[in-house]
Amino acid sequence: MTNFADRARPPRLTGRLLFAAEAGRDLRTTGAIAPSGSKLAHALIEPVRRSVRPTLSILEVGSGTGALTRALATCMGPTDTLTCVEKNPRLVEYLRRQVDTDTSLRVLGDRITVREADVVEGVMSEKYHAIVVGLPFANFTASETRAICHALDDALVPGGTLTYFSYLGASIVDNFTGDRHSRRRRHSAQALAEFRTGFRQSRRTVWANVPPAHAWTLTRPAEAHLPNGRASRPPAS
């Protein structure tokens, strides 16, 4: 339900306040105190913008208040679809309200779905051409990171792209957060590095974000090679 204070504030400000409040409640899962900035959002949606496929099926993971969702909406084609997976119910409620009221999202109509789920259970057997991940991997254990990577791997078609970010300066933060956090971050980074080896990978540094971040793009080879040396064909669409 929208209260008077929500109605009186511009929606983006309400979203920022909500995001900060959720970070205060659970910084480990929320991962930051503010939504991604527009430069980082644009770096992460670049493969969607450049795609030449007639119809894209897009998955966004960890949608938060919709910073990347809005950026995606600006470059989606008329038949593309977007599924947003977010596990925080308060952020899901906010984003669903935005989908109904924010003109940049309302235009997508029923081509956008906001699902309340943990990504490990939430993407099931569906396949996507592009996956945009907004998760704070550095806060996860290596086994959590591996489980998420496994779910994402299953959900990506051959030739598909996956983008995610990692914040810069994590080793400086380690000085304040102690050994346990530092170990967790390094082990999660190692799990991600292993995951990346199955892809063509590129990395761009986005300084104009708080905090600055690397935007990673992973592209799955169009033809996955089978153990017997033959290649499987990518799906037709």
Ligand X SMILES: C[S@@+](CC[C@H](N)C(=O)[O-])C[C@H]1O[C@@H](n2cnc3c(N)ncnc32)[C@H](O)[C@@H]1O
Q: Helices marked H in the chain — which ranges?
A: 4-8, 11-25, 27-30, 38-50, 67-75, 89-101, 103-106, 119-122, 142-155, 170-177, 179-196
Q: Of the two residues 141 and 224, which places its CB atom closer to ligand X in the complex?
A: 141
Q: Of the two residues 14 and 30, which places its CB atom closer to ligand X in the complex?
A: 30
Give whole-number Cα distances, 169 to 158, 160, 192, 212, in Å: 33, 30, 17, 8
d(CA 211, CA 37): 9
Q: How far is the CB of 146 from ligand X (least distance, A)?
A: 13
Which residues, 6 or more positions from 96, have their beta carbon under 8 angstroms from its beta carbon?
Answer: 114
Tell me the sheet residues that pair with 34. none
Q: Of the two residues 24 and 221, which places its CB atom closer to ligand X in the complex?
A: 24
Radius of gyration of the chain, Cα coordinates, nearest whole angstrom: 18
Tell me the sheet residues that pair with 204. 215
Residues that bind ligand X (CB under 6 A): 29-32, 35-36, 61-64, 67-68, 85-88, 91, 118-119, 134-136
Q: How far is the CB of 196 from ligand X (least distance, A)?
A: 19
In the chain, the amino acid numbered 207 is W
Q: How far is the CB of 140 from ligand X (least distance, A)?
A: 8
Write out the two tokens for 225. Answer: 């090679």
Q: How far is the CB of 82 from ligand X (least distance, A)?
A: 13
Give whole-number Cα distances, 69 to 159, 188, 197, 212, 216, in Å: 22, 25, 27, 20, 17
Q: Of the two residues 135 and 192, which places its CB atom closer to ligand X in the complex?
A: 135
Q: Of the two residues 20 and 224, which places its CB atom closer to ligand X in the complex?
A: 20
Q: How far is the CB of 12 from ligand X (least distance, A)?
A: 12
Q: How far is the CB of 230 from ligand X (least distance, A)?
A: 35
Q: Of the two residues 29 and 201, which places its CB atom closer to ligand X in the complex?
A: 29
